[in-house]
Amino acid sequence: MISVADLLRETRLPANYFDYASYLRGDLDLGLLENRRGDRLIAIPQTLVTALYKGLGQETGQAARLVLMNCGIWWGKNFYTRFTESLEEYYGIPLAEMSMATFTECLKECWTTHGWGALEFDPEYQSRGLLLIRTKNSPYGIQIQGDRRPSCFLEAGILTSFFSRLSGQDLLAAQTTCESLGDPQNTFILGLVKRLEICEALLAEGLGHDAIIQRLLND
Amino acid sequence: MKTQLQELLDRAQERYLTSQDLKQFEDYVASLPDRLALYRLLRDQEVALLQRVADQAEAELKDAVGVETLEEGIKNLILVLRYGAMAMLLDDEGFLKQRLLSWLERVLPIQQMRQLNEMLYRFLNQELKQRLTPRQQTLLLPLITTAQVTLIY
């Protein structure tokens, strides 16, 4: 026999953690925006991100790519911890017991609610060890002067460390298409570092997404 | 999506509300006692009402569906009814649609739960029709239908 009273013993039933209307809070008198857990949020203007890219590009030239990617990786490490803690707390179950659908939808919802653009997974090559992640309207697709390669470094970094921590393996998110180059979306190939290391060189040779995927699948 | 009320507030930032705007506001305020009464009723009868639905579903299903799946179905029904009650109180279908249904639609194995949900909503509608006055049904049932359409079809 199912007892509804038992199901309702915990009066709060979880739904969508990142629901915009419930997620975004703040103490406006103090100038603080917060999420529903009380972690601070700030609204970063697009112009600041552009300025960061520009400043780094001018000061460090080609190294800017690496610096931004590393910043993204640090960001991703903290983000993973916060993200999983929030979900475990809200849904009241450990990550391992969460359904795949809930987890991936939360990640997607997290992206849109924070205004980072829209994120989608494409499992076409998953059985061959490569997961494609696509984002649209990313705030990070900004060209560094004199470079014609994909440029969502912060995003590549956060995805790299987020999925590495999630899987317990050294993964890399290599970006192959970019809105800043006129592509309709940003594509990241996610896979083992030792398999994807070559992407950087392939991109420098001027290879596009399809050619890179073929090379990776044939290697 | 904005509620009618929010839209009125936005308009009031630019100018005094027109007679038509105020009429809209008045209509909403006039409907509030009914909405509050229905909200209280749903809140107070939540357990009894859903227990009936669960019992009937269990009897009809026998062991065709596992207890966990049935519990999951009932939990979602609890959520739909709670968000639906709030949406009814605010006269804002968007509260139910954007905050709950668009989410459930993405995380639930809709196909696998279709048969179960069809049955649960059938019993839920029966129960609501027995317990609610025609006026209350007009306020709530369209919202339940929205949920049904989203989660079943």
Q: To the nearest whole angstrom, how far is the Cα of B19 from the nearest Cα of chain A?
A: 31
Mapped onto helix, strand or coil, the DSSP state of residue B115 is helix
What homologous superfamily does CATH list for B25-152? Phycocyanins (1.10.490.20)
Place of tokens 């697709």: A141
Summarised one tens digit per residue, pLDDT across range A101-144 is 999 999 999 999 999 999 999 999 999 999 999 999 999 988 88
Q: Any CB–CB contact under 8 A between A48 and chain B? A: no
| pLDDT > 70 fraction of chain B, expressed in percent and rounded | 99
Map out the domains of chain A with their CATH numbers: 45-218 (3.30.1380.20)
Q: What is the DSSP letter of A3?
A: -
Beta bridge partners of A119: A135
Q: To the nearest whole angstrom, how far is the Cα of A71 from the nearest Cα of chain B?
A: 32
Summarised one tens digit per residue, pLDDT across range A28-74 is 889 999 999 999 999 999 999 999 999 999 999 889 999 999 999 99
- Tell me the C-alpha distance between A80 and A121, whole Å: 18
Angstrom CA distances, A147 to A62, A143, A168, A175, A204, stand at 8, 7, 33, 14, 10
Q: Quick one: CA dihedral A88, A90, A93, A95, positive or negative? A: negative
Q: Do B79 and A13 touch (CB under 8 A)?
A: yes
pLDDT at res. B2: 62
Q: Looking at residues B83-91, what average pLDDT do you find? A: 96
Q: Do B79 and A21 touch (CB under 8 A)?
A: no
Q: Which of A98, A173, A186, A104 is nearest to A139 (CA)?
A: A186
Nearest neighbour of A2 by CB, restricted to B74, B99, B108: B74
- Tell me the C-alpha distance between A10 and A178, whole Å: 45
Q: Quick one: CA dihedral A141, A143, A147, A153, positive or negative? A: negative
B→A interface, C-beta within 8 Å: 46-47, 50-51, 54-55, 58, 67, 70-71, 74-75, 78-79, 82-83, 98-100, 103-104, 106-109
**Helical segments of chain A, H only:** 4-7, 20-23, 46-60, 63-91, 100-113, 153-167, 193-196, 199-204, 209-218
Q: Do B47 and A4 touch (CB under 8 A)?
A: yes
Q: Any CB–CB contact under 8 A between A99 and chain B? A: yes
pTM of the model: 0.89
Domain chopping of chain B, boundaries: 25-152
| pLDDT > 90 fraction of chain A, expressed in percent and rounded | 84
